[in-house]
Structures are given as C-alpha cells and as structure tokens.
Structure 1
C-alpha cells in the first residue's frame, strides 16, 4: 500500500466528511491534532475514538466510486463490538494508529489463528472503527479479493464469552439482502470466528498513541507484517 496522506490532510478529510461533528469536536481541534502529528512525522492514521464516532455513523461515509458504504442488515448491534482485552486504546478523543497493514499474508486464516500470530509479530489487530477510518483516508485499501477483518473489535456476551462473529470490511457483490444497487459498495459485515476466507486478511498496527514524541517510534523489520 502507498503511504498514508499526511496527518494534516487526514484532518481535513475528516472535517470535510463531518466526522468532527459526529464526534462533538471542533474543526480547529481536529486540525490542531493533525498539525501536531505532522510535525512528528511517520506513517500514521488519524483516528477518532470509537466512543465518539461509532461504526454505524462512519460506515455510510465510505465511498467506492459513487456507492456509499453500509452495515449489513443483520448487524444492528455493530456499535456494541468493543476492543478485546489485549487492545489498549488511548483515552483520548483523537489518537494515532501507526503503520497499519492489511495482513494479506494471512488470507485464508481464521481469526483464531491470526490473533496469536499478530501478537508474535508485536502487532495488534485493528478495531472496526480504525479500519473504517483507514478506508476513509485510503479507499484503495479495499480491493477485490484483498479486503480485511478487524478482529480487535468483538462483542462480549453476558456470560463473559465472546459472540462468534468477527467484524470485517469488504466489497459487496450486490447479492442477497445487500441488494443489487449495492454491488461494489464498501460493506461492514461479519464472519464466523472459526471460518477462513481467501479474500480477507487481518488488519493490524504496531501501536496506538494519543500523541507525544513516540507516536510513531520505529522498530525492526521483524515487527511488520
């Protein structure tokens, strides 16, 4: 994938889409954060905390050609998918995700296989909202036969276990309940945690940071997927 747009450009993109209004932030706050991140440098994704901008509000902002994004009809609980225990999300309205990777080399793996492998690589899986932010900034991240799961988000059940669904972002074929009019649209959906899909990788990051000089600290090649 090509480098991300600059943090300042990403800030303007979020403002253009109205994400700051969804999050209850001022355009000035978003621009200031983007400027600060740009001064530090690095290949980082500017993200709004999921408590401020949930997946249900972000998904319709996705575009592929003239087709808007959508959430599958049987995922009305999409905003209840929260970070898994091993994912540490900064307690800040805006934060940075460093060096996101689509995880193409893990295509045809199950989520249960991918998570420990990412941990071994010193990477952490993306949240669903982080994946949506990535596609908002780089629509080309979604490509036919090269899309991704975001297994950093799962739905906890009352008994303490996790719902068997794992969220993912891919391109609709316009079949079934999606409707023909949604063919080629960006789609937020789910897959079973034990299933494999040849066209879905596992998106991840090296780390997240609210800010500061180590927001995109460098590491060895071994920590990159």
Structure 2
C-alpha cells in the first residue's frame, strides 16, 4: 500500500460519525450506525450512502492543520457526481469498503489512463464520498504532494456522455478563488479526465460490502 492503512476499528469509526453529528444528518440512529460496525472485516472503511450524506455535507468536516475542508466554487454541482458502473455501491444506508490504497503509483497518469489499470488489477476506484469518509477517519492520508483523485464518481450529462471533470481531494495553496484563508485546507476540486498531475494518485479499494449478513 502507498499510504498509511491502519484505519481505526469499525466501532471507533461508527462513534466518530455519531460524535460529529453525521449519523443524525444522514437520518440514521446511533444504534443503526453501531450495528453496521459490528462485523469482522479487518481494515474496512464504514461509509454512509451518498444519497444519505452527499459530498457537500461531508467536506466541511475534513481537517488539515486545523483548517476545515471546502468545495471549490466551480464545483457547485458536486452532489450530482454519481458512482460509475465500476464503482457501484450497495443499496444500503451504510456499507464497507475494504483494502484502501491512495494509488501513489499512478501519479502522473490521467484519469482516462488510470481507470482501466485500476479495474484490470481487480480493484475499484473510490467515489468522492468514500474518499471523504476515509479522510474523516484517517486525516493523515492527505499529504501535500501525495493527494488523490476519486474517479469512481462522475457526472453524466443529459446526452449520456460523461462530464470531463473528475473529482479529487488535495491541499489548497490558498491562491486564486480559494482565498488566503483556505491555505492548507482540504480541498474538493476537479481535474480534466485527460490531464496528468504528478501529485495526485488514484484512490481505490478491493470491494464494497453490505454489512447486513456479515459475521459479527
């Protein structure tokens, strides 16, 4: 793995979602969240379905150097970015993603180049909401010059084609429209699907699981 992978145990992840008020915001009870975390899947990430907790609601809870996360001004439609077929999520209010990897080895690849490689490796690209959950539970994964794209989320236009923007999470320099107050803050932005960036990997997981029916 190319980033720290010692996620907190699932029960601890559940308690963090509850403590932040995100369970309530997702219209979930504390017991529902705790129940989803009572399963024996080592190293898994607990995720609230994007229909319950969209990216715009999660981003402000991120922290880097005590700065809260934000969504760039030209990504006002961030919640319209949905999982692509290669990143289909379970039809469950809460689910798990296993074996997370920041994808540093794919830095300087374009999203168009990286997706086939991720899939060929038997993995699935993380969605934006999954990437945000990861950083909520393990903030140190976001490092300057080692940030990541979440190409499991794309916007489908009215004509059926994919919007050329691909979402990513990195650390703002506080320049331009970001504003100086956002320097060092976690930033939800985007890159063109055909462009390469040396400082962006491609986050992925092994599989997604519905916790219902898993061993406890």
Equivalent residue, structure 2, for 1:138: 138
Cα distance in 2 between the residues matched to 1:160 and 1:119: 22
- SS for the counterpart of 2:97 is strand
Unpaired segments ≥5 residues, structure 1: 216-225
Equivalent residue, structure 2, for 1:104: 104
Paired residues for 1:62-81 under 5 Å: 62-81=62-81
- SS for the counterpart of 2:12 is helix
Residues 19, 112 of structure 1: alpha-carbon distance in 2 compared, 3 angstrom cutoff = same
TM-score by length of 1: 0.92
Deviates more, 1:53-62 or 1:85-94: 85-94
Cα distance in 2 between the residues matched to 1:94 and 1:130: 11
Paired residues for 1:1-225 under 5 Å: 1-34=4-37, 36-37=38-39, 40-211=40-211, 212-213=213-214
Cα distance in 1 between the residues matched to 2:72 and 2:215: 38
1:127-168: CA deviation from partner (whole Å, max 9, x where unpaired)? 000000000000001001000000000000011000000000
Kindly state the Cα deviation for residue 121 of structure 1 after the two structures are TM-superposed: 0.4
Moved over 6 A (4+): none
Kindly state the Cα deviation for residue 214 of structure 1 after the two structures are TM-superposed: 7.8
TM-score by length of 2: 0.96
1:6-28: CA deviation from partner (whole Å, max 9, x where unpaired)? 00000011111111012100111
Does structure 1 retain, via aligned residues, the 8 Å contact 2:148–2:170? yes
Cα distance in 2 between the residues matched to 1:33 and 1:65: 31
Does structure 1 retain, via aligned residues, the 8 Å contact 2:103–2:148? yes
Cα distance in 1 between the residues matched to 2:92 and 2:106: 31
- SS for the counterpart of 2:85 is coil
Unpaired segments ≥5 residues, structure 2: none
